[in-house]
Amino acid sequence: MDERTIARFWAKVDKSAGPDGCWMWTARLVPTGYGGFRYAGGQLAHRAAWEITHGRVPHSDGYHGTCVCHRCDVRACVNPAHLFLGTHADNMADKKSKGRASRSGPIVSVKGERVNTAKLTATDVVSLRAAVAGGCPVAKAARDFGISVHNAYSIVCGKTWRHLL
Ligand SMILES: [Zn+2]
């Protein structure tokens, strides 16, 4: 992965929980609750986190190939220390042992937490302003950064984060 992609990736991560905590993806989530991040090797944020740390996920046979699994069971978490490689079968066994084999499991809390813990970093603010200046609609930028449209407008017009203008 090239440096620009890696910088774009970390700009969307909330590491405020500390080195051992869950690092929450603050941008778009895919419908299954994982962080969404498009890059040359795929489109899931936790897989990107694993690849940034260890290199490409090894290819394996089978429909689902190799999974990047969560020790912490928090799908929006991208802390590389919480991720491990497994096969699809391992992943299912792991889910069963944690008591959630179905998709109706407790992934909803992730969204709630995301709202409460979504804090923008200075890098986020700079890239949000750059995105809007480059023609990205404010509503879309707000969604990408996981904040409200109102907050995004305040940032864009300099009502908040004025010191970075
Ligand atoms: Zn975690």
67-96 confidence digits (pLDDT tens): 898 989 899 999 999 999 886 666 666 666
Contacts of the segment 102-110: beta carbons below 8 A, 24+ positions apart: 103/32, 107/32, 107/33, 107/75, 110/24, 110/29, 110/33, 110/74, 110/75, 110/76
| Total number of residues shown for the chain | 165
- pTM attached to this predicted model: 0.55
| Adjacent-strand bridge partners of 42 | 39
Tell me how far the alpha carbon of residue 73 lies from the centroid of ligand 1, in angstroms: 7
**DSSP output for the chain:** --HHHHHHHHTTEE-TT-TTS--EE-S-B-TTSSBEEEETTEEEHHHHHHHHHHSSPPP-SSSS-EEEEESS--TTB--GGGEEEEEHHHHHHHHHHTT--STTSS-HHHHHHHHHH----HHHHHHHHHHHHTT--HHHHHHHHTS-HHHHHHHHTTSSSGGG-
Tell me how far the alpha carbon of residue 46 lies from the centroid of ligand 1, in angstroms: 10
Tell me how far the alpha carbon of residue 31 lies from the centroid of ligand 1, in angstroms: 19
| Adjacent-strand bridge partners of 69 | 84
Task: Using pLDDT thresholds of 50, 70 and 90, give the confidence band for residue 113.
Answer: very low
> How many angstroms separate the most distant Cα atoms in the chain?
53
Two tokens, residue 146? 């996981």
Name the average pLDDT for the chain: 81
Instruction: Give the pLDDT of residue 156.
Output: 86
Tell me how far the alpha carbon of residue 40 lies from the centroid of ligand 1, in angstroms: 24
Two tokens, residue 88? 């699809």
